[in-house]
Structure 1
Amino acid sequence: RSFIYLIDCQDPERYGESLDYFDKVMEYFKEQRQNIPIMVLLHKFDPEIKENRELNKRALVLKQNLLKYKEFQIYFFETSIYDIKSIMDAFSTGLSFLFENVEMLYSYFEDISKRYNILFISLIDSTGITVGEYYSALRLIDKLKIYNLYLEVLKKVKMENKEKYEFSDILSNGKRFSGVIEVLNLSNFDFYLLIIIEEEKENLEKTISALDAIEAEKDKMEVIISQILT
């Protein structure tokens, strides 16, 4: 379980009211001995004002005020309806608290990423919530680009009723990457496994071999992931 608390970061006049109500909620949790993760969404942190100095200063003050409850695990997220990924990341974190073995999923993704030199791997449910992911040395701008590509490709996967879809694009550093979406059926629910591999310009056969090896391991991955999540 987790508790989500939303604050409108563009309405500073109501910060005091938000903090007072948060205090009451925390006191209730302490009385009930409910030590659950707290997710604070600083909402309306829109892309066009995200770098605004005054907004960031106010957000920092809010965080400092809320962190006085050291006995609770408090997580902060800057969200906006104009940045769907920010909302999905927040709710994905909340969902992860429901899965006792989410750390095992992370470890498994880390293991296969090292074996196949994967840049990014993510398991996403049919509603768009990320159940687990692993990535290394991937810039935020590239992660957002990959997620937007995923949304575009997913439409084709559903429209064409495909079990697998491959695509390719360019990272912010100019290097190309290959991506694949694999449809996994876990407990009669569809999940989407997104895998990104950096292409080897001088040795494309190596990239193709890696994708083929991942495809060959699909059934095994499906079984392992299912065991972890159930």
Structure 2
Amino acid sequence: MENEKNRTDPKKVVFLGLDNAGKTSIILSLHREVSIFTVIKPTRDTERRKFKFLGMDIFEWDLGGQERYRINYLEKAQSIFRRTDILIYVVDVQDYDRIEESYNFLNAIINKLTEMNIEPSIHIFFHKNDPDITESLQIKINDTFSNLKAKNKDFQEHPKTFTYKTTVFDLSSIINTMSEILLSLFPRSKLIERTIQEFVNSSGFEGLELIDDNSLIIESVYLNEKIKSKLNSLSPYFLKLNDAFDALEDSENGDKNQIIVERFSKYYIFKQFTLIDGTTPYYVLICSNEPFLNMIEIDTLINVLRDIISY
């Protein structure tokens, strides 16, 4: 009963970092709104959004990074950070001159969390880790953070701290990371993993991604790294293409939607379906040697997933 209560409780995810670190661009990439990256304005104070993830209510807090706001967050830490389950701290690795300032703010946040006796998992995004970043700058950045971390006992001893490298030029770096983080909130994720693995093994597919409407990968199975790289790269574009069709068409039954692309004798099949009535859709992206799906097998998979998620 306690596990069930914890699963249905709303979850709180807080994004923060210095101004211009890229927090909002990360959030927009999950919303598939990459076209407005060039006109992003600084986040003013706190912006909140509620969305569903595997039937759970997730409250997303995007905290503006300008100095006057940062001071306010520390002064009002109880109202800002209480009941936080996940804290995502974004660092602009290309703004090298402000890395120490960014670290000091993160350190101040961790000290506040310690004072409040709460231990959300802390996920540090080394963001704007773009393809054209020079190797010498990357080494310099890594060395700086290693040295700063070594100086701080609270940072070292926080039990749940994780680091990632992300960039909007590789959307999969953001999607895969956010998927992993949010799945940590869902106690039955291992059961979903086994279900998808068994389905792929029996169907003979070379790869499959189960995706929600927030662009997050719920589970995935790949024959090899090459297939993984392809599906990771393609899924944001299939989602965006599906959005474009939805905007042009008035379909009452989105579950009949299916996109098939053939490329070098491989078929990439993107299908929409409903897991929970009255909520946003889910999708599968499949790499197959055949241009069709066995709908009996797909319906069986959907029913099993529905039972797992609605349990």
- Of 185, 191, 202, the residue aligned with 2:282 is 191
Give the C-alpha shift of residue 71 in structure 1.
4.0
For the structure 1 residues 136 and 25, does the alpha-carbon distance in structure 2 shift closer, same or farther, using more than 3 Å as the test? farther
User: Does 187-196 or 147-156 show the bigger shift?
Assistant: 147-156
Distance 2:91 2:137 in 1: 13
> What is the CA–CA distance in structure 2 between the aligned matches of 1:113 and 1:31, rounded to whole Å?
47
* Contact 1:39/1:74 (8 A) holds in 2: yes
> 3-state SS of the aligned residue for 1:118?
coil
1:110–1:77: structure 2 CA closer, same or farther, 3 Å change rule?
Answer: same
Q: Is 2:197 the counterpart of 1:103?
A: no
Give yes or no for the alignment of 1:147 onto 2:235: yes
Note closer, same or farther for the CA distance 1:40–1:121 as it changes in structure 2 (3 Å cut).
same
Instruction: Specify which of 218, 228, 235 is matched with residue 131 of structure 1.
Output: 218
Task: Give the SS at the match of 2:197.
Answer: helix
Distance between the aligned counterparts of 2:200 and 2:145, measured in 1?
34
Does the Cα contact within 8 Å between 2:231 and 2:285 map onto a contact in 1? no
User: If the length of structure 2 is used for normalisation, what is the TM-score?
Assistant: 0.59
1:37/1:177 CA distance change after superposition, 3 Å: farther
Matched residue type, 1:98: L
**2:178 maps to which of 91, 100, 104:** 91
| Paired residue type of 1:225 | L
CA-based RMSD of the aligned residues comes to 2.6
Partner secondary structure for residue 225 of structure 2: coil
- Return the TM-score normalized by structure 1: 0.78
> How has the CA–CA distance of structure 1 residues 124 and 196 changed in structure 2, closer, same or farther, with 3 Å as cutoff?
same
Q: Deviations over 1:163-210 (max 9, x none)?
A: 32322224xxxxx3222222121222211111212x2xxxxxxx36xx
In structure 1, the residue matched to 2:104 is 20
Range that drifts further, 150-159 or 216-225: 150-159
Aligned to 1:118: 205
* Alpha-carbon distance in structure 2 between the residues aligned to 1:153 and 1:112: 26
User: In 2, are the aligned partners of 1:9 and 1:44 still within 8 Å (CA)?
Assistant: yes
Q: Kindly state the Cα deviation for residue 149 of structure 1 after the two structures are TM-superposed.
A: 4.8
Any idea what the Cα deviations from partners look like across 1:86-110, whole Å, max 9, x if unmatched?
A: 2222322232233221222122212
Instruction: After TM superposition, give the deviation of residue 75 of structure 1 in Å.
Output: 2.5
Find the aligned partners of 2:242 and 2:207 in 1 and give their Cα distance. Answer: 17
- 1:169 corresponds in structure 2 to 263
**3-state SS of the aligned residue for 1:217?**
helix
Identity of aligned residues (%): 18
Q: Secondary structure at the match of 1:128?
A: coil
Q: Secondary structure at the match of 1:29?
A: helix
CA distance in 2, matches of 1:62, 1:38: 19
Counterpart of 1:203 in structure 2 is none
CA 1:168–1:111 in 2, change beyond 3 Å: closer, same or farther?
same
**Structure 2: unaligned runs, 5 residues or longer:** 1-84
Partner of 1:72: helix, strand, or coil?
A: coil
User: Aligned residues, how many?
Assistant: 212
| Number of the residue aligned with 2:163 | 76
Q: Which runs of 5+ in 1 are unaligned?
A: 171-175, 200-206
Residues 11-55 of structure 1, C-alpha deviation per residue, up to 9 Å, x if partnerless? 111111111222222223333333332211111112222xx2123
Question: Contact between 1:165 and 1:180, CA under 8 Å: does it hold in 2?
Answer: yes
Match of 1:57 in 2: 139
The 8 Å contact of residues 215 and 236 in structure 2, kept in 1 or not, is answered as no
